[in-house]
């Protein structure tokens, strides 16, 4: 009986409805070898090529991520932070890496107030914290890599030197940030052409970024944190009145962490612990569990209402409690307690939206982004997310090396009483989160981008699979909502949600802003699934991005079957 149930579950997850009736736009990618899913096809292809050369899932993820920093430079790059979850197919062990950087020692509340700031700057050099991505790559490669470090950067270096044509959504995002780029001399010189963004299909090259990547390939993370790139970063910071010092860079080290989790409808769902917002996704799922979502139609007013109300409760706690746990006591166990979820769920009225949701009192326990997921031929999975936070981050581009620094420090608060208050060597509250879920022989690495959208999008994706029996592509494509404000009843919702459903939500008090059919407002994502019983892999890539899930090529040109017969 158990075997039959497993087969039925797998069929639900991997088989769409009849082709003529299905609602998803893309099919899953299915392969018995590895798959790389990213938000830009050239990066997915680069990762797949690394797999074909015998690289691990981590090798492919690093290569794809480095390439994304070149071909999608407004979203990510060596000037940003990184989080990753790695699942080992042989041992079943899950490992997390927090590569989010800390504030410079001299960047303090008092210093910013002396400059006239009453809130955290959202761009410019004072919003810059230490970029953690390169150190994160090195930690991941040292533990799980197979190929030589330098090999992983060849695709990114190639595209930075030889150029690549701009794709649709990336070009539009680039164009919308023309004014921001014009504010910084380096940014304008590197990323604009005669004051304008490159056009759709135009070949863009960044030889300065190629120089930085070559140094990292040859010298490792030392080039970034102690060597020539560090010196250029410090020079840029000093010129702009920043506080970054040499030891802020050289002392930084990413941290290995244990992912946190909850059980939802038989699935074990994992997220990264604070300082990230992953805990909010798990708290939302615990609230979903108090209601019969499996009995509701997908994207019905009943389902969406409960999910929106759960988001408000979870995010009120997120805003109040989540910070760097090295500096603040974050009540993780309390926030994930099912008894706490049951109490909080009592605040959800099935018939009426609550527009003023305060944080709860859990008992203490003992922007803009890229996301990629990889499964290699052995079934190892990496779920990785990397970001500059806002488009082109702080808009500060490092002298001589052509990459933007993130503005992650903008998520600190200047309220000294808050757990997330700015402090030297403290990591800010972080929006970027990779996800992972498993049930029996099914293992899924997933993630969805978009600032504070991420936790609520994760919860919707998980519910689509666990409550509605969707496969990973349909679960990724299904219309989503995004609660855009911490307070109030304003909600963005995709136009594909039926008009009658939207009317039903408005009748309950939700104030809807209808966005496009496949809107970047609700974020784009990727996912891979590994069936450890059949050894088959599945990939999904969101239509809200320019990317694709690309399978590792088979060695058909070198296999015996391809050789001439004698």
For 484-503, how does the pLDDT look when each residue is reduced to its tens digit (9 = 90+)? 787 899 999 999 999 999 99
pLDDT at 478: 97
Please check whether residue 11 is in contact with residue 3, taking contact to mean a CB–CB distance below 8 angstroms: no
The residue-averaged pLDDT of 126-151 equals: 98
- For Cα atoms 196, 202, 208, give the angle at the middle one, nearest 5 degrees: 75
Residue 534 catalytic?
no
Q: What's the pLDDT tens digit per position in 52-70?
A: 999 999 999 999 999 999 9
What pLDDT band is residue 15 in, cutting at 50, 70 and 90?
Answer: low
State how far the Cα of 283 lies from the Cα of 455, in Å rounded to an integer: 9
Percent composition of the chain: helix, strand, coil (DSSP 3-state, to 5): 40, 20, 45
How do beta strands 267-271 and 435-439 pair?
A: antiparallel
- Which residues neighbour 349 within 8 Å (Cβ) at sequence distance 6 or greater? 309
Q: Which two tokens stand for residue 266?
A: 């038989």
pTM: 0.94
Confidence of residue 518 (pLDDT cuts 50, 70, 90): very high
- Asked whether the beta carbons of 289 and 264 are under 8 A apart, the reply is yes
322: its two tokens: 């989540």
Average pLDDT, the chain: 94
End-to-end Cα spacing for the chain: 51
Quote the pLDDT of residue 485.
Answer: 80
- Tell me the three state secondary structure of residue 279: helix
Long-range contact set of residues 171-178: C-beta below 8 Å, sequence gap at least 24: 171/197, 171/198, 171/199, 171/200, 173/74, 173/75, 173/368, 173/391, 173/520, 174/74, 174/198, 176/391, 177/74, 177/391, 177/392
Task: Give the span between the Cα atoms of 129 and 181, in whole angstroms.
Answer: 19
Residues 6+ apart with CB under 8 A from 134: 78, 216, 221, 224, 225
- Tell me which of 243, 369, 413, 431 is the catalytic residue: 369
- In this prediction, residue 558 carries a pLDDT of 76
Q: How confident is the model at residue 566 (pLDDT cuts 50, 70, 90)?
A: very low
Q: What is the pLDDT of residues 371-422, one digit of tens each?
A: 999 999 999 999 999 999 999 999 999 999 999 999 999 999 999 999 999 9
Q: Percent of the chain scored above 90 by pLDDT?
A: 90
Distance between CA atoms of 463 and 307, rounded to whole angstroms?
A: 9
Give the Cα separation of 502 and 513 in Å (integer).
10
Residue 2 has pLDDT above 50, yes or no: no
Helix and strand numbers, DSSP H then E, in the chain: 20, 19
Q: Which helix (H) or strand (E) holds 211?
A: helix 207-219
Looking at residue 10, its pLDDT comes to: 54
pLDDT tens-digit map of 66-124 = 999 999 999 999 999 999 999 999 999 999 999 999 999 999 999 999 999 999 999 99
Which domains does the chain show, CATH number per domain? 26-32+257-367+431-551 (3.60.20.40), 43-72+94-256+395-411 (no CATH)
pLDDT band for position 22 (50/70/90)?
confident
């Amino acid at each position: 009986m158990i075997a039959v149930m497993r087969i039925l579950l797998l069929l639900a997850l991997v088989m769409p409805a009849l082709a003529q009736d299905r609602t998803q736009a893309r099919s899953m990618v299915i392969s018995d070898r590895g798959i790389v899913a990213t938000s830009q096809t050239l990066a997915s292809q680069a990762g797949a090529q690394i797999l074909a050369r015998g690289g691990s899932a981590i090798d492919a993820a690093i290569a794809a991520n480095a390439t994304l920093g070149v071909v999608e430079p407004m979203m990510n790059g060596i000037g940003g932070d990184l989080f990753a979850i790695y699942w080992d197919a042989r041992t079943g062990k899950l490992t997390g890496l927090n590569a989010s950087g800390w504030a410079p020692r001299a960047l303090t509340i008092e210093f910013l107030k002396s400059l006239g700031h009453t809130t955290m700057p959202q761009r410019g050099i004072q919003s810059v914290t230490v970029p953690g991505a390169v150190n994160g790559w090195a930690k991941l490669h040292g533990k799980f890599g197979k190929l030589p470090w330098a090999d992983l950067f060849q695709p990114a270096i190639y595209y930075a030197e030889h150029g690549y044509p701009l794709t649709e959504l990336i070009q539009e995002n680039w164009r919308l940030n023309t004014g921001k780029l014009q504010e910084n001399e380096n940014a304008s010189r590197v990323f604009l052409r005669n004051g304008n963004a490159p056009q759709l299909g135009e070949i863009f090259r960044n030889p300065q970024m190629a120089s930085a990547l070559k140094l990292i390939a040859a010298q490792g993370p030392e080039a970034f944190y102690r060597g020539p790139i560090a010196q250029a970063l410090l020079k840029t910071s000093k010129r702009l009145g920043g506080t970054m010092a040499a030891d802020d860079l050289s002392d930084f080290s990413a941290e290995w962490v244990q992912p946190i989790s909850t059980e939802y409808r038989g699935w074990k769902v994992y997220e990264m612990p604070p300082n990230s917002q992953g805990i909010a996704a798990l708290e939302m799922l615990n609230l979903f569990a108090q209601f019969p979502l499996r009995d509701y139609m997908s994207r019905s007013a009943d389902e969406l209402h409960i999910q929106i109300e759960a988001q408000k409760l979870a995010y009120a706690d997120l805003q109040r409690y989540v910070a760097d746990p090295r500096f603040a006591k974050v009540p993780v166990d309390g926030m994930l307690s099912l008894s706490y979820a049951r109490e909080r769920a009592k605040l959800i009225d099935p018939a009426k939206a609550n527009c003023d949701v305060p944080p709860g009192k859990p008992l203490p326990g003992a922007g803009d982004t890229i996301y990629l997921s990889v499964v290699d031929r052995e079934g190892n999975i990496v779920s990785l997310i990397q970001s500059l936070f806002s488009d082109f981050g702080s808009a500060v581009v490092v002298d001589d090396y052509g990459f933007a620094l993130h503005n992650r420090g903008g998520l600190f608060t200047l309220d000294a009483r808050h757990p997330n208050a700015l402090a030297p060597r403290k990591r800010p509250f972080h929006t970027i989160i990779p996800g992972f879920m498993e049930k029996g022989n099914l293992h899924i690495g997933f993630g969805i981008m978009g600032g504070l959208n991420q936790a609520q999008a994760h919860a919707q994706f998980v519910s689509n699979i666990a409550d509605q029996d969707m496969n990973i592509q349909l679960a990724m494509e299904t219309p989503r909502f995004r609660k855009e404000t911490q307070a109030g009843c304003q909600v963005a919702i995709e136009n594909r949600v039926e008009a009658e459903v939207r009317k039903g939500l408005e009748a309950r008090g939700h104030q809807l802003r209808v966005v496009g059919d496949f809107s970047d407002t609700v974020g784009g994502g990727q996912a891979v699934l590994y069936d450890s019983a059949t050894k088959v892999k599945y990939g999904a890539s969101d239509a809200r991005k320019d990317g694709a899930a690309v399978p590792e090529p088979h060695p058909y040109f070198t296999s015996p079957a391809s050789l001439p017969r004698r």
